[in-house]
């Protein structure tokens, strides 16, 4: 829930109420140095050549068409494999002026990550940079899931370097995330304890393996066990701030309701306020829909909204095409649901009914505690 806790309310409201996307997930490369068991993007990994990836100039042109961008997540592949990543982030700030930039990374490149974080937080002191480190187990379990022998040790070194930098850069945030699979689920308690004490992390995300993963045997099937894990994490991170507690509790309720009902609890705004742009400029409403096999009578032929190189890099123009509108109509009709966390947080934040629920929970908690 850091997107709200670390927000600037006035700008968040203005961007959220605008007509163009406020949240963009930008793939900058398909290249990756790992072979994670639960990767849903594994068939695309290392398939796009460097000279086929969006250039800094192309990204600049795309970003200039997004006047209400608030949050951008830069991903891949492994984003740290783009040698011009600092230049990419700089041009994004200069053209779209987002308040937050998030980089999920496997943490394998400690020095490079520290150098990037130092440069961006120094250059843009009024903008938040969040580095989100993947951790799927403690020690050898993490290495085995990631398919890379020294990945755990290097991730920890990356964290330690960032933690030192964070002491002088208040606009640097560090978070962690775990993809829950059958293999690591039995070891969640020691993992959460490790993250809390060794890493001093207060923003840890738990995600279900999803989509067409590399190793289907790792896919979890027990929804109630995952819900119990989410509830355990909530109680573990619950603090003295009544607003933050009510916020986390309301979001937990939204996630749990979605899982149990197999329908989005908050109306889905994927494709409208949240879009995904891949490394060659293809626009998708979210990461999940293209992988869904559906026989729904109103389902589009596919869920690719279009290609930005075909529309002069103009995002609003692409979203106004008949194909994009067909996909949006399918989503708005609640014909799909998923556990995609970025979509869920986007829907939660932009649902007007969210905020009365948070206030009601605050009041109920105060009455209970008194």
49: number of Cβ within 10 Å? 10
Environment class of 31 (CB within 10 Å of its CB; exposed 0-12, middle 13-18, buried 19+): buried
How far is residue 74's CA from residue 24's CA, in Å, rounded to a whole number? 8
| Paired tokens of 54 | 């969006």
Judge contact between 123 and 94, C-beta under 8 A: no
pLDDT in tens, the chain (370 residues): 565 555 566 777 777 777 789 999 999 999 999 999 998 888 888 899 999 999 999 999 999 999 999 999 999 999 999 999 999 999 999 999 999 999 999 999 999 999 999 999 999 999 999 999 999 999 999 999 999 999 999 999 999 999 999 999 999 999 999 999 999 999 999 999 999 999 988 899 999 988 788 888 888 778 999 999 999 999 888 877 888 889 999 999 999 999 999 999 999 999 999 999 999 999 999 988 877 666 777 788 889 999 999 999 999 999 999 999 999 999 999 998 988 999 999 999 999 999 999 999 888 877 777 6
Instruction: Quote the pLDDT of residue 218.
Output: 82
Could you tell me how many helices (H) and strands (E) the chain has, helices first? 14, 9
Distances 11 to 79, 107, 130, 275, 347 between C-alpha atoms, Å: 27, 31, 18, 19, 17
* DSSP letter for each residue of 157-182: HHHHHHHHHHTT-TTEEEEEEEEE-T
Domain 2-369 has CATH 3.20.20.70: yes
- pTM for the complete prediction? 0.94
Instruction: Quote the pLDDT of residue 288.
Output: 85
Judge contact between 45 and 39, C-beta under 8 A: yes
Judge contact between 227 and 261, C-beta under 8 A: no
Instruction: Quote the pLDDT of residue 40.
Output: 86
Burial 231-255 (b: 16+ CB within 10 A, else e): eebeeebeeeeeebbbbbbbbbebb
Instruction: Quote the pLDDT of residue 4.
Output: 57
Instruction: Quote the pLDDT of residue 156.
Output: 98
> Using H for helix, E for strand and C for coil, what is the string for 246-277?
HHHHHHHHHHHHHHHHCCCCCCCCECCCEEEE
Domain ranges of the chain: 2-369
Q: Map tokens 């009578």 to a residue.
A: 297
| Paired tokens of 90 | 């700089």
H or E element in which residue 134 lies: strand 128-134
Residue 214, SS3 per DSSP: coil
CB within 8 A of 32, min separation 6: which ones?
Answer: 39, 45, 46, 76, 77, 78, 81, 106
């Amino acid at each position: 829930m850091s997107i709200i806790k670390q927000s600037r309310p006035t700008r968040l409201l203005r961007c959220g109420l605008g007509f163009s996307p406020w949240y963009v997930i930008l793939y900058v490369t398909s290249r990756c140095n790992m072979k994670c068991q639960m990767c849903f993007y594994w068939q695309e990994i290392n398939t796009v050549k460097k000279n086929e990836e969006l250039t800094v100039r192309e990204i600049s042109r795309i970003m200039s068409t997004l006047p209400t961008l608030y949050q951008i997540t830069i991903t891949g592949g492994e984003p740290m494999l783009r040698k011009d990543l600092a230049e990419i982030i700089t041009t994004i700030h200069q053209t779209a002026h987002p308040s937050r930039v998030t980089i999920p990374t496997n943490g394998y490149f400690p020095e490079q990550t520290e150098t990037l974080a130092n440069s961006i937080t120094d250059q843009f002191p009024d903008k938040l940079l969040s580095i989100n480190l993947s951790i799927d187990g403690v020690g050898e379990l993490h290495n085995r899931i990631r398919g890379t022998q020294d990945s755990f040790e290097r991730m920890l070194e990356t964290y330690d370097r960032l933690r030192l930098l964070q002491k002088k850069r208040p606009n640097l945030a560090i978070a962690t995330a775990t993809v829950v699979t059958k293999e690591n689920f039995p070891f969640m308690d020691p993992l959460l304890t490790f993250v809390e004490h060794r890493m001093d992390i207060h923003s840890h995300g738990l995600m279900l393996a999803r989509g067409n993963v590399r190793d289907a045997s790792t896919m979890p099937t027990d929804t109630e066990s995952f819900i119990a894990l989410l509830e355990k994490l909530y109680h573990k991170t619950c603090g003295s701030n009544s607003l933050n507690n009510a916020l986390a509790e309301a979001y937990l309720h939204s996630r749990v309701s979605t899982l149990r009902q197999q329908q989005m609890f908050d109306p889905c705004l994927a494709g409208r306020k949240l879009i995904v742009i891949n490394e060659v400029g293809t626009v998708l409403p979210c990461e999940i829909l293209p992988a869904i096999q559906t026989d729904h009578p109103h389902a589009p032929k596919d869920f690719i909204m279009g290609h930005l190189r075909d529309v002069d890099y103009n995002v609003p123009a692409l979203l106004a095409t008949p194909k994009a509108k067909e996909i949006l109509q399918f989503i708005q009709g609640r014909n799909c649901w998923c556990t995609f966390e970025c979509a869920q947080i986007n829907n939660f934040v932009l649902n007007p009914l969210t905020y009365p629920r948070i206030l009601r929970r605050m009041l109920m908690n105060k009455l209970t505690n008194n």
